[in-house]
Structure 1
Amino acid sequence: MKIKGLKQLSRTLEKAGQSGFRTEAAKWLEQTGTDFLDLVRDEIVRAGSIDTGSLLRSFKRGAEGNIWEIEKGGLTLEVGTELEYASFVNDGHWTGGKEEVRWIPGQWHSGRFQYDPGSSSGMVLKRQWVKGTGYWEHAFYIFERLFEKRLNERLQTWLNSL
């Protein structure tokens, strides 16, 4: 049995091993992490999950609350956020405890509620479900579709440069 190009492939792989493949892979992995964070930020904006902007800013490398851990030798990258409420925005959550009812003192004026801590009137807030936006899953879905294509392109470009 004869396989065309096997010797050439063998020489190319041998050369690849000597020419800094791990360094190139680590650079690519780092760029991939940045690309994923960009996708997460895009999905947060698309879902309208912005109030103060803290969640959006936390999905940027080096930002407060950001997780960015890279292990170059083993080619491991971990990205995310340390903001406790990030999962609530993504997955959804209940407001308050099971039996919790909150009394908010204040008055209604022209259809808007105005908080007044000394008021004898007010409103009652009952527990309700706040639907999650799924920004993380949406970003990951897009990322999975792009990952293989980008990996193949990067490898081919690198192999062609050898």
Structure 2
Amino acid sequence: MRIDGLDEFIQALDEAIDGGLQSQYELWLEAMGYEFLDIVQDEIMKTETVETRRLLNSFQKGDADNIFSTTAGNLILDVGTNLDYASFANDGHFTIDPSKNLDRRWVPGRWKGDRFEYDPAAETGMLLKFQWVDGSGYWDNALAIFERMFERSLDRKLQEWLDEF
């Protein structure tokens, strides 16, 4: 998200109050990051994205698979996950890579109730047939919600800072 002139505006406000705004700006940006993580987790649950909680947990700051960085100057906020299957769960995928010219693939493991546990040493497993699996769109939904919320929050915060300083 790019907002032309925001950095100059924040710098002018910051200079007007002897640097006190920068720390508030950084805190607000970090809070926005946490808010986005909450929205993504809500959307994973709401869309019933099939996963083993690893995807859900990867959208928590501090998780080994989480990406979370903030910078107040130039308004940089990176939030995401390093899990390779996160995009497949969002966008959809084929059960087998079409470039391999296969129509089925054996996956070793076992069923526990309605969940399958992958185990490369198992003698049992499941046979995947070539087909498309729809994605849940959890990321796209969360991003659309966050963009609307971010804009309103920024408007409120800028007005609050103007009123205060």
TM-score over 0.5 for the alignment?
yes
Aligned residue number for residue 130 of structure 1: 133
- Equivalenced residue count is 138
Residues 82 and 146 (structure 1), Cα distance of their counterparts in 2 relative to 1, 3 Å cut: same
- What CA distance in whole angstroms lies between the structure 1 residues aligned with 2:39 and 2:162? 28
Q: CA deviation at 1:157?
A: 1.9
Aligned residue number for residue 139 of structure 1: 142
Residues 103 and 61 (structure 1), Cα distance of their counterparts in 2 relative to 1, 3 Å cut: closer
- 2:133 counterpart SS class: strand
Q: TM-score normalized by structure 1?
A: 0.74
- What CA distance in whole angstroms lies between the structure 1 residues aligned with 2:107 and 2:151? 52
User: Quick check: 1:102 aligned with 2:105?
Assistant: yes
- What CA distance in whole angstroms lies between the structure 1 residues aligned with 2:68 and 2:126? 43
Q: TM-score normalized by structure 2?
A: 0.72
Structure 1: unaligned runs, 5 residues or longer: 1-11, 106-115
User: Quick check: 1:117 aligned with 2:120?
Assistant: no
Matched-pair identity in %: 46
Q: CA deviation at 1:48?
A: 0.3
Q: CA deviation at 1:104?
A: 7.1
- What CA distance in whole angstroms lies between the structure 2 residues aligned with 1:14 and 1:124? 61
Aligned residue number for residue 59 of structure 1: 59
Aligned residue number for residue 90 of structure 2: 90
Residues 125 and 147 (structure 1), Cα distance of their counterparts in 2 relative to 1, 3 Å cut: closer
CA contact (8 A) 2:59 2:81 kept: yes
Off by >6 Å, runs of 4+ in structure 1:
none
1:38-49 matches, within 5 Å, as: 38-49=38-49
Computing the radius of gyration over CA atoms, which structure comes out larger, 1 or 2?
A: 1
CA contact (8 A) 1:25 1:75 kept: no
